Amino acid sequence: MNALELLLTRQSDARLTEPGPNSEQLSIIKQAALLAPDHGALTPWQFIVVQGEGRERLGDVFYRSAFHHQLDERNLERAKTLALRAPLVIICIAKYVENNKVPRIEQVQSAACAVFAMQQATFAQGLGGVWRTGHYAQCELIKAELGLNVDDEIVGYLYLGTPEVKHVKTRRLSTEQFFSDF
C-alpha cells in the first residue's frame, strides 16, 4: 500500500480478532509512534503494550475503576472483558513535561499524533485497529495503578488485531464543507 492509498482509505475496525500484530509488525507500529511531531523534542509519550494475560490484568484494573466509581451492574460486568476485545491493546499516554515554550495541550496533541500514526501503521500492514477512550481514559485510579502522574493524560487505548469483518468506510465528507479560501 502506498502512502496516499493509506491516507485516503484508512478506517477503523471496531471488531477485532486473532491474530494480532506479530513482533515484526509491532516493531513497525512502535517506530511509527516515535515519529510523531514533537515540539521541542520533549518526547512527552509513554506506551504500554498489553497482550495475552496482560489483557485480563487490565480488565481487573478496569473493574476496580468501575467499582470505585460505582458504575452500574452492566458496566461492572463489562469492565473485565473490555480489554479482551482485541489481541493487543496499547495504552497511549501523554507524559506531561513542564516546559515554558510547549504547553500541555501541544504535548497531548503530539501523543494523539502518535496514536494515529500507530493506527495507520497497523492498517498499512493489512491489520485493523480502533482508538478508544471513555471513562477508563479519565480515571485517576487507573492512572495511579499504571504508575502515571496526575499530570499525565491517557489519550487512548488503541485496540489492534485482525478485522472480524471486511468493510469499507462508506461515510465520505465533502471537502467544501470544511475548507474555505481566505
Ligand X SMILES: Cc1cc2nc3c(=O)[nH]c(=O)nc-3n(C[C@H](O)[C@H](O)[C@H](O)COP(=O)(O)O)c2cc1C
Residue 161 lies near ligand X (rule: CB under 6 A): no
Residue 75 lies near ligand X (rule: CB under 6 A): no
Say if residues 152 and 94 touch (Cβ distance below 8 Å): yes
| Choice from 104, 132, 141, 145 touching ligand X (CB under 6 A) | 132
Rounded to an integer, what distance in angstroms lies between the CA atom of residue 66 and that of residue 79? 7
**What 3 state SS string does 25-59 have?**
HHHHHHHHHCCCCCHHHCCCEEEEEEECCHHHHHH
Which helix (H) or strand (E) is 16 found in, with range?
strand 16-17
| Choice from 74, 101, 166, 169 touching ligand X (CB under 6 A) | 169
- Which are the contacts of 6, defined by CB distance < 8 A and separation ≥ 6? 120, 123, 124
Residue 172 lies near ligand X (rule: CB under 6 A): no
Site size with ligand X, rule: CB under 6 A? 10
**Interface with ligand X in residues 9-28 (CB under 6 A):** 11-12, 14
Question: Measuring CA to CA, which residue among 124, 135, 106 is closest to residue 45?
Answer: 106
Say if residues 108 and 132 touch (Cβ distance below 8 Å): no
Q: C-beta of 130: minimal distance to ligand X in Å? A: 5
Comparing CB distances to ligand X, the nearer of 26 and 158 is: 158
| Choice from 54, 60, 125, 131 touching ligand X (CB under 6 A) | 131
Sign of the C-alpha dihedral computed for residues 48, 125, 56 and 67 taken in this order? positive
Residue 138 lies near ligand X (rule: CB under 6 A): no
Comparing CB distances to ligand X, the nearer of 42 and 131 is: 131
Residue list, annotated binding site for FMN: 10-12, 39, 131-133
Binding-site positions read 10-12, 39, 131-133
Instruction: Return residues touching ligand X (CB under 6 A).
Output: 11-12, 14, 130-134, 156, 169
